[in-house]
Chain A
């Protein structure tokens, strides 16, 4: 990596872990996907530049996730740390890949930039929506290495 684009990003506190209830332990209770569960799947994705998670940089927030378990829809809005972030597509792709692997295939996942927070919002959204281009990207070994690093366990 050459120079960091955003040298001093704002760092936010992580949220508390989800509290387990009795029902969570009961295998017989139907447990639909909700916003918190989706958030937990992606909050620890690493930023490509900083040794920080997307949650800590407020790239991801639970309030910007919508889930319709019945209709199989998961919609994520993410907020790049700066409006000219060249990593926006890579970050969006990492979120897509993580959910692609973690969720059952019935879900239609859309990942978009939080409106008004990026200069090339429309172009980035179009790329992330195009499943053919996403499929081609996932066959790129170099790119997948980078994405897998982002998705992997948080850096110490």
Chain B
């Protein structure tokens, strides 16, 4: 029995597709790549995805990442041209109404907080920036940089907000993952202890639905699962004075033959999908008898998805099992995964 069906192959980008992001409604998604364009795809009446809009004038170099805000009104794009553009449809058409400048070098990733009033960006300049959005009716949105975080010693590849709280995670070429939260006393953004276990670049990270676990993937060909332990944990793991500590509780080694460029932890099904430099997409599932402190994950399916490196995986935010993948081969594919159980 086939576990995965290809629903559609989408072409249009010229050259490598770097990233894509589902609109929270699931009726739309945006994609970007080395052709410096953003394509906004919508579903037709016959259930086919088409590029409804192509945004061409936002960036002068590769667009590395795109992200929709949780309210669905804003789309942010991060570019090698050192800027982040924020797009909205207030005029009826997609327009770039804010350009965030400040990074010294290529911007690698952008992400919106669940609350919607914070945006985070990271760059090859080794820093992570947090921006606060001030919006008032009938006024232009304003973006204020509230923190420049210099914890990493190398190129920062990815930033990702916690699914509920204002907790930010970042992954870097320095092999580590870092987390940041606001001090409740002075409101300053502070860094937690670095999370070190990978032996090469950490390309991507993704929280699970609870936000108590994080999955990371790396150039070292492994995937790791990190678990949050609070001061009251039953294992007696020591925690810093305020807050919690993250421990690597599982390493998935031996499954990937090349760099793992992206990972997405489905908030609905708990399935983990990875995008690998060997062109394959893999889906992992936690074993039924898995111990939360030493979890076990099983590879449930390997998809021969693309003809070149896979760069992006993204689970549909509404329909369980629908998966988007994007590749160096210029294609975006939409899949339906069917669980046998």
Contact = CB atoms under 8 A, between A and B. Distances in A.
Interface of A: 105-106, 108, 126, 129-133, 135-136, 139
B144 to A, nearest CB: 28
A105 B108 contact: no
Contacts of B333: none
Nearest to A131: B309
B16 A132 contact: no
A52 to B, nearest CB: 33
A133 B155 contact: yes
Contact of B62 (A106, A108, A139): A139
Interface residues of B, number: 23
B61 A132 contact: no
Contact of A135 (B34, B258, B307, B329): B34
B198 to A, nearest CB: 13
A106 B16 contact: no
Contacts of B80: 135-136, 139
Given A108-B258, A130-B201, A139-B61, 5 more contacts: A105-B308, A133-B155, A135-B62, A136-B80, A136-B124
A139 B173 CA distance: 20
9 contacts: A105-B329, A106-B308, A108-B258, A126-B173, A126-B219, A130-B219, A132-B64, A132-B108, A136-B62
Contacts of A108: 258, 277
B66 to A, nearest CB: 16
A89 to B, nearest CB: 14
B200 interface: yes
Contacts, number: 35
A147 B240 CA distance: 50
A133 B307 CA distance: 21
A5 B290 CA distance: 58
B264 interface: no
Q: For the complex of A and B, list the 8 residue pairs with the smallest distance between their C-beta atoms, beginning with the closest.
A: A136-B106, A136-B80, A139-B61, A105-B308, A139-B80, A139-B62, A135-B62, A130-B201
Interface string B139-153: 000000000000000
A135 B157 CA distance: 14
Contacts of A106: 307-308
A132 B258 contact: no
A103 to B, nearest CB: 12
A106 B327 CA distance: 12
Contacts of A105: 307-308, 328-329
A90 B329 CA distance: 26
A108 B308 CA distance: 8
Contacts of A132: 64, 108, 157
Contacts of B258: 108
Nearest to B16: A135
Interface string B234-265: 00000000000000000000000011000000
A129 B173 CA distance: 12
Given A136-B80, A139-B61, A126 B16 contact: no
Contacts of A133: 124, 155
A117 B34 CA distance: 35
A129 B308 CA distance: 15
Interface in B39-84: 61-62, 64, 80
B152 to A, nearest CB: 15
Contacts of B62: 135-136, 139
Contact of A126 (B201, B277, B328, B329): B201
Contacts of B259: 129
Contacts of B277: 108, 131
A130 B172 CA distance: 12
A136 to B, nearest CB: 5
B64 A129 contact: no
Nearest to A107: B308
Contacts of A136: 62, 80, 106, 124
A126 B200 contact: yes
B16 A130 contact: no
Contacts of B157: 132
Contacts of B108: 132
A9 to B, nearest CB: 32
A71 B212 CA distance: 40
Contacts of B200: 126
Interface string B274-285: 000100000000
A131 B276 CA distance: 13
